[in-house]
Amino acid sequence: MKPLINLNELSESFHDERGKYADTYYPISEKIGAKRLGYSLSEVPPGKRVCPFHNHRINEEMFLILAGTGTLRFGAEEYQVKPMDIIACPPGGRDVAHQLINTGTETLRYLCLSTNDPFDICEYPDSDKILAMTGEQGNRTLRHISRAGDAVDYYDGEMDD
């Protein structure tokens, strides 16, 4: 296996579109032998976004804008992005929640790089959801999403009557 690939030669892709969310995703990691980092390329059409506004408690992400323009939501701020901008999305609370939105007129294309820790907790501030997951990417052994307000007491359902 070669440890390199040209982004212009990626052929395997996955397309997803749901309302305001749409992207074409090109996996890279497995093609170049990556073990601890995840690599992918995303293409987002005008007016769309890849995923909901979210933050990771464990994994870290980085995005390198290759083409197009858009808006980065980051915590309580918004930033305009353009080619050759590098975006750091460290693990943490809602203050580092992030989302890229294609607010331009051409496809927003960017390289994604992330740590691949098999455990993570994500929060979704816009919808007040929490996602807990374990297992390797593509082979999750646990994936559960709930609303933060659905919390129960530690002993709920455990006490003898």
The domains found in the chain, sorted by start residue, are 8-117 (2.60.120.10)
Q: What is the pLDDT of residues 89-116, one digit of tens each?
A: 999 999 999 999 999 999 999 999 999 9
> Is pLDDT above 90 for 161?
no
> Is pLDDT above 80 for 138?
no
Pick the range with the lowest mean pLDDT from 66-70, 83-87, 133-137: 133-137
Question: What band does 140 get if pLDDT is binned at 50, 70 and 90?
Answer: confident
Beta bridge partners of 119: 134
> Is pLDDT above 90 for 139?
no
Exposure b/e, 83-114, CB count within 10 A at least 16 = b: eebebebebeeeebbbbbbbbbeebbbbbbbb
Under DSSP, is residue 149 helix (H, G, I), strand (E, B) or coil? helix
pTM assigned to the model: 0.93
